[in-house]
């Protein structure tokens, strides 16, 4: 079974540009999550999809971030326009179990975003 | 605010010695407790979790963790460290019905 995949692995963009990150969850997983780790700090929750619907987007930092999951399969996270403080590693995770329960989530390798 | 602390940024231990990576948390209720590990260029991998019951939880690769309710701690342990255990370790708690709250991570270096 293929794991969670993310693309690209690394992106370097200039302030003001747009970047789109992609996440492909494990096939059949209804729950998809986005997280971000700013250098050396804790991993922070951004949002949670159940199929194509946004279940919880309380962690999204501002309206420069837009997440979509059309068709309930892969998801994209767009940052427009990017700012320096957006730099970090963006993780995607998926799970099939009920959200908020005791089941673990399966994480992708992350996309390292550098805004210069 | 809910938070998870991993007081050590870096832990160094000699191969064959026991290791401990510390985690304390401040969340409401009785959360689920997790440890994840990240190897270079890989995603976070699940190691173990505490739901209820025995305070000592055993997980993958010989790791175990001890839950202490009075100290709100969930320290990760291994009796004999391997060089291949060198990685970044994250403690995470999940308040029931809510999302994960992660700690900042602890880098473990096992020296040959």
The total of other beta-carbon atoms located within 10 Å of residue A45's CB is 21
Domain CATH number, residue A80: 2.60.40.10
Predicted local distance difference test score (pLDDT) of residue A32: 95
Is position A26 within any domain? yes
Is the pLDDT confidence value at A98 over 80?
Answer: no
The DSSP line for B67-81 is: EETTTTEEEEEESS-
What is residue B29's predicted lDDT score, i.e. its pLDDT? 84
Question: Strand runs (DSSP E) across B1-112, as ranges?
Answer: 3-5, 10-14, 19-21, 24-26, 32-38, 44-50, 56-58, 64-68, 73-78, 87-94, 101-102, 106-111
What distance lies between CA A36 and its chain's CA centroid? 7
Does the distance separating the beta carbons of A56 and B94 come in below 8 Å?
no
Is A27 inside a domain boundary? yes
**Domain limits, chain B:** 3-111
Of the candidate CATH numbers 3.90.1150.10, 2.60.40.10, 3.90.120.10, 3.40.190.10, the domain formed by B3-111 belongs to 2.60.40.10
**What was the pLDDT predicted at A99?**
61
Structure tokens of A39? 């250098």
Residue A73 inside a domain? The answer is yes
Query: A51-72: per-residue pLDDT in tens?
Result: 999 999 999 999 999 999 988 8
CB-based contact, A110 to chain B, within 8 Å: yes
Which domain range does residue A11 map to? 5-98
Q: What is the pLDDT of residue A71?
A: 87
Closest Cβ–Cβ partner in B34, B43, B102 for A109: B43
Residues 6+ apart with CB under 8 A from B23: B4, B5, B6, B35, B73, B74, B75, B76, B91, B103
CB contact under 8 Å between B104 and A109, yes or no, is no
Query: Does A96 score more than 90 pLDDT?
Result: no
Checking if the pLDDT of A1 tops 70, the result is: no
pLDDT given at position A100: 64
CA gap B56, B61 in Å, rounded: 15
Count: domains in chain A: 1
Q: Which residue has the higher pLDDT, B6 or A41?
A: B6
Distance (Å) from the alpha carbon of B96 to chain A's nearest alpha carbon: 6
A100 close contact with B: CB closer than 8 A:
yes
Q: Mark the ranges of chain B whose per-residue pLDDT is less than 50.
A: none
Residue A45 lies in a domain: yes
């Amino acid at each position: 079974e293929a794991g969670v995949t993310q693309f690209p692995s690394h992106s370097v963009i200039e302030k003001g540009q747009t970047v789109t990150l992609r996440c492909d969850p494990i096939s059949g997983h209804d729950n998809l999550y986005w997280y971000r780790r700013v250098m050396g700090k804790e991993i922070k929750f951004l949002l949670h999809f159940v199929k194509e619907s946004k279940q919880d987007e309380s962690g999204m930092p501002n309206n420069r971030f837009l997440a979509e999951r059309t068709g309930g399969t892969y998801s994209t996270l767009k940052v427009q326009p990017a700012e320096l403080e957006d730099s970090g590693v963006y993780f995607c995770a998926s799970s099939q179990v009920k959200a908020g329960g005791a089941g673990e989530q399966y994480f992708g390798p992350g996309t390292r975003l550098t805004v210069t | 605010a809910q938070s998870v602390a991993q007081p050590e940024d870096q832990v160094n231990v000699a191969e064959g010695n026991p290791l401990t990576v510390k985690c304390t948390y401040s969340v409401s209720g009785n959360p689920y407790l997790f440890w994840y590990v990240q190897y270079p260029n890989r995603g976070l991998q699940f190691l173990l979790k505490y739901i209820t019951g025995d305070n000592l939880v055993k997980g993958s690769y010989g790791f175990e963790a001890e839950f202490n309710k009075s100290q709100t701690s969930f320290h990760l342990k291994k009796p004999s460290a391997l060089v291949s255990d060198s990685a970044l370790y994250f403690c995470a708690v999940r308040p029931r019905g809510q999302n994960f709250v992660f700690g900042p991570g602890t880098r473990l270096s096992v020296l040959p």
